[in-house]
Structure 1
Amino acid sequence: MRDEDNGPLPGLTGKGARIAIIDSGVHVGHDHIRAERIADGVAIAGDGSIEGGGEASIDRLGHGTAVTAAIQEIAPDALCLPVRVFHASLKTTGLALIRAIEWAVDQRVDIINLSLGSTNAAHRDAFAQAAQRALQAGVAIVAAHDVDGAPCLPGAIPGVIGVGLDWDRPRATFGLSGDGEHFLASGYPRPIPGVPPRRNLYGISFATAQMSGFAARALEAMVDDATGPARVEALRAILLAALSR
């Protein structure tokens, strides 16, 4: 694990935070995964139906495992709940994503990691409603803000903690976009020994995951008992304050 005494919010490990990771599931036997901090998850099909138990949330694509590893590297003591929406490929439906957000809110998680999103504007209203429900419950959605400049849903929706790419940024830090609208993080995941970065997975998925890890640290640093939207705003304020130190 990364030395948590370095970088923003030092000395914190995400203890007490519950993070739903909406992706392709997780392979708990992977060397980069802290299996004891993985809770039971579910699989959500394209039609929105939910399957739990057994092997429902086992990752067969690798993406969700890499995303989870990136989160755990920064926040090793957070509890991660895998929500598998990617099955045969890294594609799913807007309905599955919205149902996944709803499921996560029902589980009373603190943070929802969406290392993905939709650029289809037709889904905006549905995503906005799901994001508003999460916000009212005090759940922070951390999601990709854009893909190659195209707004990404729900990451570009107000109230969501949007994340963009900064390829030159060290992985142990995060920053803020020029307009102050979203955060920035490195697009590189935890490295695999002996594998060049260009052959590993990389992209907005990992910038988002790392920001979720920092959000878990920020949650651990909270000292008030704010609820609803105020809780998400307090978390955002701690992240912004960390940038000025």
Structure 2
Amino acid sequence: MIGETPATTRTAPGQGLTWSLRGRGPGDVPVLADRVPPGGRPAGTATGRGVRVCVVDSGVERDHPLVGPLAGSWVVVKDGESGEITVEPTTTGDTCGHGTACAGIVRRTAPDCEIHSVRVLGERFSGTGDILMAGLRWAVEQRFDVVNLSLSTTRTRFAQELHKLADSAYFARTAIVASAHNTPVESFPWRFASVISVGSHQEDDPALHLYNPDPPVEFFGPGQNVTVPWLGGRTIRTTGNSFATPYVAGLCARVLSAHPRMTAFQLKNALYLSAANVRHAPRPSTAAGDIRDDPEN
């Protein structure tokens, strides 16, 4: 751009972001990468082992038989006088069942992943945008591999900050898997391209996800009349985008357990390639002969 000072590299202060590679070549920035699995699906032996999933929700009931042990549990607390917001360890469990349901679906999909909980909702599903923001920011700062967010806010004053946070997670290889609102209203952060946004489908197959060719919702997972764990060691049947989201989060955990170097955009591509409605057209022939798809790509 006009007026720029020549430099071999340009870096944002304190962030280590390189804006230019002048004077440097491919050999100066080597990257060890994992390929996307053929068809986008990990091998059957990929069970989420070694992957850290954080459920930002209403908490998770400890030792629910369909959830199992938690690796960590925290709560976002706002001081009534000073307004200061902190994230603290907790043993209080779940306030309304929603987080336990989401954690159970993650566990069912990726049984060997490590599940953490951050409570941002109170009783009767009550919550505020600043508490949600603080919990999500904390989860991103901890560099969890996958964050399940079956929540959103309609408050536009949080949109810009949420967008910036979602981008930070994307570049740090933390996949935020966010639920679309159940009604056609403007809400965030599922609207952002840097997150993996999820709605629900009504197919009978509980292990099927679909790609949406008309975003902003990118994927549909099983979320209609599904059985989920609930408070008191019980289960219930329920419906909503909230419950399709942890299925996709669990799929992400499975892919990452087999391909831990994958970036966030590779992970999206894996979900796209493995969606039940995506058909892979053959490449056209050329004068040099048929060009076949490379199963490694």
- Tell me if TM exceeds 0.5: yes
What does residue range 38-187 of structure 1 map to in structure 2 within 5 Å?
Answer: 38-45=70-77, 49-56=85-92, 58-168=93-203, 170-179=205-214, 181=216, 182-187=218-223
Measured after TM superposition, the shift of residue 136 of structure 1 is 2.1
5+ long unaligned stretches in structure 2:
1-40, 230-235, 280-297
Whose helix proportion is higher, 1 or 2?
1
Contact 2:47 2:113 in 1 (8 A): yes
- Look at both structures and tell me which one has the larger radius of gyration over its CA atoms: 2
Q: Bigger CA drift: 62-71 or 10-19?
A: 10-19
- Shift of the alpha carbon at 1:132? 1.5
CA contact (8 A) 1:113 1:142 kept: yes
Is 1:201 equivalent to 2:238 in the alignment?
yes
TM-score, normalization by structure 2? 0.69
Aligned equivalents of 2:214 and 2:75: distance in 1? 37
The alignment partner of 1:178 has SS state of coil
Number of the residue aligned with 2:269: 237
- Distance across 2 between alignment mates of 1:20 and 1:48: 23
Which segment drifts farther, 98-107 or 45-54?
A: 45-54
Cα offset for 1:178? 3.0
Q: Tell me if structure 1 keeps the 8 A contact 2:149–2:177.
A: yes
Contact 1:14 1:217 in 2 (8 A): yes
Residue 39 of structure 1 contacts residue 80 of structure 1 at CA under 8 Å; is this kept in 2? yes
Give the whole-Å Cα distance in 1 for the aligned partners of 2:62 and 2:110. 16
Q: Residues 72, 121 of structure 1: CA spacing in aligned structure 2 closer, same or farther, 3 A cutoff? A: same
Task: Report the alpha carbon displacement of residue 29 of structure 1 after superposing the two structures with TM.
Answer: 2.3
- Looking at structure 1, the residues matched to 84 and 58 of structure 2 have their Cα atoms a distance apart, in angstroms, of 15
Report deviation, 1:81: 0.8
The residue aligned with 1:214 is: 251
Matched with 1:5 is: none
The structural deviation recorded for 1:26 is 0.8
CA distance in 2, matches of 1:163, 1:127: 17
Q: TM-score, normalised by structure 1?
A: 0.83
In structure 2, C-alpha distance between the alignment counterparts of 1:54 and 1:43, rounded to whole Å:
6
CA RMSD of aligned residues (A): 2.1
Alpha-carbon deviation of 1:191? 5.0
Cross-structure match for 2:293 = none
AA at the equivalent of 1:53:
P
Distance 1:48 1:217 in 2: 37
Inter-partner Cα distance in structure 1 for 2:162 and 2:273: 29
SS at match of 1:190: strand
Instruction: Could you tell me which runs of 5 or more consecutive residues in structure 1 were left unpaired when the two chains were aligned.
Output: 1-7, 193-198
Cα distance in 1 between the residues matched to 2:94 and 2:119: 8
Distance in 2, Cα, partners of 1:111 & 1:137: 11
